[in-house]
Amino acid sequence: MELLNADVYGHIRRCQGFLHRCTTEIEQSGRELASERIVAAIGAMRRHNRIRVPYFQAYLDQLRRQAIPVQAQEPLVRRPGNPMLRYATHALAAEPQHITSENPDP
């Protein structure tokens, strides 16, 4: 917004570039995650006083490459008797069942 207040016609192309990059980021990674990255990239540009589209894209790329913090994962629930489990001590795991189709091919 500061760019448009300073000089509308001088910064219109730059604003279009920012909008294009923001739209692309939202399409790639979803609205919630992209909005967090966009806010962080704008903050980094303001901190370093570098308001340019290539810097904005570089910050977005850097934020995209950073590891996403893993939230509390739910425990993995497996059904008992699954013959595909490795090191299973179930009776079905020791004796795999053969599945036959109802419509065998001739």
pLDDT in tens, 46-92: 898 888 899 999 999 999 888 666 666 777 777 777 777 776 565 44
Tell me what pLDDT residue 24 has: 93
User: Rg of the Cα trace of the chain?
Assistant: 26
Encoded tokens for 58: 């570089």
Are the C-beta atoms of 56 and 50 separated by less than 8 Å?
A: no
pLDDT at 55: 92
According to the model, what pLDDT value does residue 50 have? Answer: 85
Which of 8-17, 24-33, 84-93 has the weakest average pLDDT? 84-93
Model pTM greater than 0.75? no
How far is Cα 19 from Cα 99, in angstroms, rounded to an integer?
55
pLDDT value, residue 11: 79
